[in-house]
Structure 1
């Protein structure tokens, strides 16, 4: 990373902060390397699409297309298909692009299509003019389920989290949990500079605020677990590092999933689960409940079934 870029990043920090340029360069390069590695990991939709293409190439006996797909097959898909191939063809190694240049190319293509499938079922097709629906065969792929709400931003979320740690190491202060859309605060400018540097295209405003909400949620659950583990203690005794006890208590009093999570806490504690596992499980419950409420709210606003606009 050039001296000019490092100095430009250092200039974003608040006045009075003595920025060690070598330390900053080392930390930013580490954060950028982690982001680059995470960005290359394929999501479920990409994995499924590749399996679908390989199944089609095999089914249509397009050896050239199948060979090209095998050359770029994701490691995750290869690890999933190889055991299935070995069970069906124990004496034949998993195909490569070169094996599809042989006279057995059509047979290999058919076998490839077979290991990409888990069967299938007949489903209702298009409505005909006569008023009847056709029946269509739909293949069930041996692949991850498609995700409509795919998280393309995971790498960017991790990048913001790592940049928050970098900011803490350089300044000695935790960055803000929320920022305004104008990105006027120094931490937001710092994140924006790094996003541009590594080629991240997401909204800096949204990523920082999402990171802040997750950190607040984690602190809230940690405070709740502390209270449940110390039932005789007052909220004012909650460790200060978890936040303002009055805000935590107010959130707890209005918490919709309070009873369910308290039961979950008791069951997991009785089962000897670790505090980290319990905290993660409760965060999952809250996140799922928040997602459900958000979906219902959007549905009502669109006038969906059960919404005010459906009348």
Structure 2
């Protein structure tokens, strides 16, 4: 599919007509801070929001509302003839739409996909509204703190994966001739999100998506950093005294599954990331 790269100065028909057509048939992925933001606006706990309105342990918003003329279901937060019921808590994917965001060499780039600007497919009336620069649109959407959360959780994702590397490479597991671990890393990268959710299990899914953090919740960077510390502490408590190669293998697989599950919630290419991490491990002596 054709991709168009944009700068913050790019001028586009970004003034929303508020028709609600973008609230149907999407896959809106969530990181833990976005789940928290939704729950605050809904005035329920993150656990309640996750259990009522999310799929796969919290990484995707449920779309189970009324159908549009194309047969696409509405977002669970969409109210007919009103719009989003939790608009102030909406995640980055909704704030950016119809734009996408890519990180390359630690720099963010904005894009849209397709041969024409996506809004024109269902909302041609936007051509009659004032045009905006990408920068002005993002400012008006309040995207900045959500971009910060996304970027910080990419670091959390890598830190979780690093634990899996340590369990494989620094424990004697790879040196033992183990070939099972990388094979399962690859398998998990290709698993459906529901299968990976089941493999990880409720305890780690809860730790990943609904951390017990009650302070710093207004600051996405501090929230993600505190969450990172909680996850690393949990891993140390669970894996710090493993004895057998089988235990090390199972731990490396489990924690890599957690990292890959988070990657999907961040909208990343989970299969591609899995392959990258496998090649990195092989370059440091692991076998497959």
Q: Return the TM-score normalized by structure 2.
A: 0.29
Q: With CA pairs under 8 Å and 6+ residues apart, which has the higher RCO, 1 or 2? A: 2
As a proportion of its length, which structure holds more helix? 1
Bigger CA radius of gyration: 1
Q: Return the TM-score normalized by structure 1.
A: 0.28
